Each structure stands twice: as C-alpha cells, then as structure tokens.
C-alpha cells in the first residue's frame, strides 16, 4: 500500500500541473467567448471535465496523505448534525438515517471539509450496499484508547479520541473484500459506478489527521466504519479561522496593481499564471526557477510580492527561495503553490503563519483571492 501511495501521489502531482493549465485556460477562453455562447459552451465542457479530473487527483492525494489539510477546532456533533441534512438529501428515501450523538463530546482538530466528505462517502457506500433499502446509523462518542487497545493495534497511540461511527444494515463484505478495501481503485462495483477511491481517501485523510479507522463487517448483516480522531487538549489553541464565505467571495473578485515575481518551472503553468495576474491588473516579472528569481532580486528589481511553486528543479525549492528572498527583502509577502504539500510543509503539515498556500489546480479566482490575502497580510502586520 505504501508503494501505491507513493506512485499515486507522484501521478497526482504531475496531473495537477496539467489540470491547472486545462482548467485555467478553459476559464480564460470562457471569459473571452462571452459574445459566442455556442463556443463558450465548449469551453465550459472542457473546464468541468478538468474539474472532474481534479477531484480524482484530490482523492489520490488524500490516499497518499499528501493533501494540504487545514485543520481547525471541530465539534463533531455539530458537524454530523449539519451533514445529516446533506446526507438525507443525497441518499435514497428507502433508507432510514438515524443519529445518536454523545452529549459532552470532546472537540477535535481536523480539516472540516475533508471530514464532511468522508462521512458523505461512507453514506454513499452504505447506500450502495442496501439496494433494497435499510438504515444508516451515525453515532459520536468519546473514547479512551488504552494500552490494551494498543496491544491489538500497535500503530495507535493510547489517548483520548472522538469516535464517529457509521453503521448500515447492508450486504456487508467478505473477508477477501475487506482485505483490499483501502487500496485505491479497488472496487466491486460495475464500471462507471465505482472508482474505488472512496475508502482509500477516507483512510488517507484519517491517517494524516493522526487518527485511526476500523471496519467491522459481516456478509449479509451489515458494516460499521469507525473513525477515531485525537481529541483536542485544552492547551491546543486553534489557529486563525479561514475567512468566512463572504470574505472569500470578496477576495475572489479582488484585483491589484502590485509588482509580482512569479516563479514556476512548468512553462504552461507559468504562462497561465502570468495571463491571470496581468488580466487582474498586476505587473508580472517571471522566473523559471529559484536561481533566476534570486538573480533578479539581487539585481534590484522592485517587487511587492512573490508567487512561487514549491517543487522546482535547479536545486532551490520554494521554501529555500522564500528564505533567501526574505533575507534580501525582509517581510516580503509570499504566496506558495503546489500540487501537493506534505513533504514540504514541515513536521506537522502546518504552514508558518506568514505564508499563504494555494493548491494546484487553481482557477483565476482562486489565485486572485489568495494573492490578495498574501499581500494584505503584510499590511495588517504593519499597522
């Protein structure tokens, strides 16, 4: 499984560069073709196909534990409550959905959209296993996993966990199927019905969140999936919240007139980034790698912000570039960008406070919003 993870992580990374170019240029075409609705439709089709591809690479990255997680403090009861509505609307009506939530539940520190999508994925699996109807029961509870538990599950550190479980009354799984369920692309469903990426994504997400996942299943009786996430200790202070939806929308429309140094080795991605930034009003200076960027900086170019890829050939990666660029220009606002992140994000997969991170593939609106945030962060600090 480790090898498959490595491989799929690598593929996903390369695909994210390609998808940035496909989705991005389709979006630019879409804008340019406003007067030709027929042609505009073609651009829209290209874009939505690209986005489906991006969803697949996201799942692959999730499996290989290389997606960027943005953890925050979560009350899992609240999360299950709000997800219940969505699950209810998504799942067939001949399936009863119940929930049983533990009062006084500890909080966890995890990526909320990922956890939501995990619950939705598990619910859809349960639905698929109950072609004649049945029920799904979602529960939450506090759990102490002790040394005894560790004896059976050596990889699980003892401690306080919040457990979210999802039980169905479906077909269940044979021992043979159970052995393979976490492998990416493993599916027992017909072509077009299953991708085999659902459980592998959930598994990768839970592992990357320092949690633990178990499946209990009996053929003919049903299945229980349990997610354990480490409970927050009171000393853990949650990081700054991501901006609310309104602020995000405002940001997505934001433009700018600053000078931006763009560093990206992939020619197509670079061209796309430059086009986006120029149409947003920025002035762009481009470099193909860290070395060229540093040479430009040493030569005295005027810039207000740096937008750089993480993984680049030529011996200087994004992190080192930031360090050295900031030695030349203290406090330089930085927007960092990558198709994946974990290997570059430091030990805990968390970003330093003063760096804004953008995932590939990104759209023009994403770039507009994240760059504005990176540039404004310095202004907030100065005054």
| Residue 284 parent element (H or E) | strand 283-287
Which tokens go with 185?
């692309």
- What string of DSSP letters covers 77-103? HHHHHHHHHHHHHHS-TTEEEEEEE-T
Closer residue to ligand ADP (CB): 149 or 216: 216
Asked if 290 contacts 277 with a C-beta cutoff of 8 angstroms, the reply is no
The answer to whether 186 contacts ligand ADP (rule: CB under 6 A) is: yes
Closer residue to ligand ADP (CB): 172 or 339: 172
The answer to whether 318 contacts Mg ion (rule: CB under 5 A) is: no
Q: How far is the CB of 122 from Mg ion (least distance, A)?
A: 8
Closer residue to ligand ADP (CB): 24 or 204: 204
Q: How far is the CB of 193 from Mg ion (least distance, A)?
A: 9
CA distance 126 to 120: 10
- Site residues (CB under 6 A) for ligand ADP, limited to 15-44: none
Binding mask 142-181 for Mg ion (x = CB under 5 A): ----------------------------------------
181 binds, among Mg ion, ligand ADP, none (CB under 5 to 8 A by kind): ligand ADP
The answer to whether 198 contacts Mg ion (rule: CB under 5 A) is: yes
346: left (phi over 0), alpha (psi -120 to 50) or beta: left
311 binds, among Mg ion, ligand ADP, none (CB under 5 to 8 A by kind): none
Q: How far is the CB of 312 from Mg ion (least distance, A)?
A: 36
CA distance 32 to 40: 8
CB atoms inside a 10 Å sphere around CB 352: 12
- Site residues (CB under 6 A) for ligand ADP, limited to 117-146: 125-126, 129
| Residue 275 parent element (H or E) | helix 267-279
Which tokens go with 115?
């956890």
CA distance 172 to 165: 15
The answer to whether 177 contacts ligand ADP (rule: CB under 6 A) is: yes
Strands (E), 102-234: 108-110, 134-145, 159-168, 212-218, 222-230
CA distance 310 to 156: 32
- Site residues (CB under 6 A) for ligand ADP, limited to 156-175: 168, 170-173
Q: Is the peptide bond before 361 cis (omega within 30 degrees of 0)?
A: yes
Q: Which residue's C-beta sits nearest to Mg ion? A: 198
26 binds, among Mg ion, ligand ADP, none (CB under 5 to 8 A by kind): none
Q: Which residues contact residue 354 at a Cβ distance below 8 angstroms, ignoring those fewer than 6 apart?
A: 334, 377, 381
The answer to whether 91 contacts ligand ADP (rule: CB under 6 A) is: no
Figure out which of the listed residues 23, 138, 181, 312 binds ligand ADP, where binding follows CB under 6 A: 181
Q: How far is the CB of 10 from ligand ADP (least distance, A)?
A: 21
Size of the site for ligand ADP (CB under 6 A): 22
Helix/strand/coil percentages in the chain, nearest 5: 45, 20, 35
Q: How far is the CB of 121 from ligand ADP (least distance, A)?
A: 6
Q: How far is the CB of 48 from ligand ADP (least distance, A)?
A: 20
The answer to whether 184 contacts Mg ion (rule: CB under 5 A) is: no
Residues contributing to the site for Mg ion (CB under 5 A) = 125, 198
Residues contributing to the site for ligand ADP (CB under 6 A) = 125-126, 129, 168, 170-173, 177, 181, 186-189, 194-200, 223
């Amino acid at each position: 499984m480790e090898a498959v993870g490595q491989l799929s992580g690598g593929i996903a990374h390369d695909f994210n560069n390609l998808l940035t170019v496909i989705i991005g240029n389709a979006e630019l075409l879409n804008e340019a073709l406003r007067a030709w609705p027929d042609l505009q439709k073609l651009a829209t089709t290209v874009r939505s196909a690209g986005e489906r591809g991006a969803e697949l690479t996201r799942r692959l990255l999730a499996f290989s534990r290389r997606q960027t997680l943005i953890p925050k403090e979560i009350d899992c009861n609240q999360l299950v409550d709000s997800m219940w509505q969505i699950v209810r609307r998504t799942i067939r009506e001949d399936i009863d959905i119940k929930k049983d939530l533990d009062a006084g539940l500890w909080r966890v520190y995890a990526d909320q959209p990922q956890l939501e999508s995990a619950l939705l994925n598990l619910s859809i699996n349960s639905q698929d296993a109950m072609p004649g109807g049945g029920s799904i029961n979602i529960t939450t509870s506090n759990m102490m996993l002790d040394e005894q538990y560790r004896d059976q599950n050596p990889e699980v550190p003892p401690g306080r966990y919040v457990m979210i479980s999802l039980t169905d009354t479906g077909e269940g799984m044979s021992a043979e199927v159970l052995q393979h369920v976490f492998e990416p692309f493993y599916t027992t469903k017909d072509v077009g019905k299953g991708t085999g990426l659902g459980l592998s994504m959930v598994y990768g997400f839970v592992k990357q969140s320092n949690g633990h996942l178990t499946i209990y299943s009996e053929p003919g009786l049903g299945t229980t999936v349990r997610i354990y996430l480490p409970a927050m200790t009171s000393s853990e202070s949650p990081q700054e919240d991501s901006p609310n939806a309104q602020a995000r929308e405002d940001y997505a429309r934001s433009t700018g007139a600053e000078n931006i140094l763009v560093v990206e080795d992939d020619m197509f991605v670079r061209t796309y980034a430059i086009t986006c930034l120029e149409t947003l009003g920025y002035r762009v200076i481009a470099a193909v790698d860290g070395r060229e960027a540093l040479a430009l900086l040493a030569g005295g170019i005027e810039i207000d912000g740096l937008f750089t890829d993480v993984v680049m050939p030529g011996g200087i990666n994004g992190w080192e570039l930031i360090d050295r660029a900031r030695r030349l220009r203290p406090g330089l606002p930085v927007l960092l960008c990558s198709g994946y992140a974990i290997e570059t994000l430091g030990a805990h997969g968390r970003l330093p406070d003063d760096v804004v991170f953008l995932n590939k593939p990104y759209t023009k609106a994403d770039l507009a919003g994240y760059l504005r945030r990176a540039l404004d962060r310095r202004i907030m600090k100065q005054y």
